[in-house]
Structure 1
Amino acid sequence: MTTTDPTPKYTVPGIEREAAGRLIDVLRLRLHALNDLHLTLKHVHWNVVGPQFIAVHQMIDPQVEQVRDMADDVAERVAALGGVAQGTPGALVSERTWDDYSIGREDAIAHLGALDLVYTGLIEDLRAAIKVVGEIDPATEDLLIGQLRDLEQFQWFVRAHLENAGGSLATARADTELDAATAAKD
């Protein structure tokens, strides 16, 4: 059960319980974001079509596995801090601050355009989380920084399909996943 007060009854040595509660609160949303990303990537994997199908299909699965490992690391950090790692779909849906992925069966480039925006939002939120936890705990900060590097690399893989020889990104002006999917196809 999620409570409004994430302050644990105990935590790791050297961190006050209230500070651990702040860490747990930040990590809770990171866990939801990673679980959501895992499911979104599998959705893309199952629903991608077109001439670049196999390249995207095979590019996505290693990202899925790595994101699942990231979620596990975050959940275990929450538990180590004395918190409860809520990994249920209900907790994810009720606590997330973003909308569901909006692209269904579509060609590879459209999905990659939408994923570019997904990764942008995720990376921006993760950078903000790193600032918060960095003031409290270097171990949690280190965990999130490592994940940031991996997620930025995944976005680079996606963007390599969306960039032209002049360095312009097809999704540069898109504000929504649908806009990004459309722009990527044009």
Structure 2
Amino acid sequence: MAPFTTPGLTADSAATVVATLQERLSALNDLHLTLKHVHWNVVGTNFIGVHEMIDPQVELVRGYADTLAERIATLGESPKGTAKAIEDSRSWDDYSLGRDTVQAHLGALDLVYVGFITSHRDAIETTGKLDPVTEDILIGQTAELEKFHWFVRAHLESYTGELATAGATSEKAAADQAR
């Protein structure tokens, strides 16, 4: 741990918050790359609408990574933004689709967002007990990510409210169901 942290936060609390933020920073960097990958590889009906829908998500996620990196630095540590840091932090599988249809990618992204948002909410719970400033940052990010998830799910939802990806437990299964 660094010789300092932000006033009012113990070194132990700061270490826990930094570890949580570093994992989330790696997850955000991975999400940014996944979204850009989808942007480049989506084809078919409604291509342009989804292609253009993804870009604002990419930019916001990049900004969120920057915010978390700066928070880590504020707490006295060095944020790690390398490809190795992503790989070392990864507890999730790499995105599994290449060139594929709009619906297939949106189906897979549904599961990506489920996992990501769930992990961000876990980080909110961990940091809220230790550092309400960090908790607030994560809450704001989660709200926007949930909105993007809604954008994705709107393409997968029937008029009765059923999701084409219901019950899928892998990106490939969700993609298959959504096609």
Q: TM-score range by the shorter chain?
A: over 0.9
| Partner Cα distance (2:88, 2:10) in 1 | 28
Q: Report what 1:140 is aligned to.
A: 134
Q: Report what 2:61 is aligned to.
A: 67
Aligned residues of 1:8 and 1:21 also touching (Cα < 8 A): no
Q: Is 2:27 aligned against 1:30?
A: no
What SS does structure 2 have at the residue aligned with 1:29?
A: helix
Q: CA deviation at 1:71?
A: 0.3
- Specify the code of the residue in structure 2 equivalent to 1:46: W
Q: Give the % identical residues.
A: 58
Aligned residues of 1:78 and 1:85 also touching (Cα < 8 A): yes
- Specify the code of the residue in structure 1 equivalent to 2:134: T
Q: Report what 1:150 is aligned to.
A: 144
Aligned residues of 1:42 and 1:64 also touching (Cα < 8 A): yes
Q: TM-score, normalised by structure 1?
A: 0.95
What SS does structure 1 have at the residue aligned with 2:143?
A: helix
- Deviations for 1:136-181, whole angstroms, at most 9, x for unmatched residues? 0110000000000011001000000000000000111100000000
User: Which structure 2 segments of 5+ residues have no match?
Assistant: none
| Partner Cα distance (1:139, 1:8) in 2 | 19
Runs of 4+ with deviation above 6 angstroms: none
What SS does structure 2 have at the residue aligned with 1:179?
A: helix
Matched pairs, number? 179
- Deviations for 1:60-111, whole angstroms, at most 9, x for unmatched residues? 0000000000000000000000111000001111221111000000000100
Q: CA deviation at 1:8?
A: 2.5
User: Which structure 1 segments of 5+ residues have no match?
Assistant: 1-6
What SS does structure 1 have at the residue aligned with 2:163?
A: coil
Equivalent positions of 1:163-182 (< 5 A) are 163-182=157-176
Q: TM-score, normalised by structure 2?
A: 0.99
CA RMSD of aligned residues (A): 0.6
| Partner Cα distance (1:181, 1:112) in 2 | 7
Aligned residues of 1:47 and 1:105 also touching (Cα < 8 A): yes
Q: Is 2:41 aligned against 1:40?
A: no
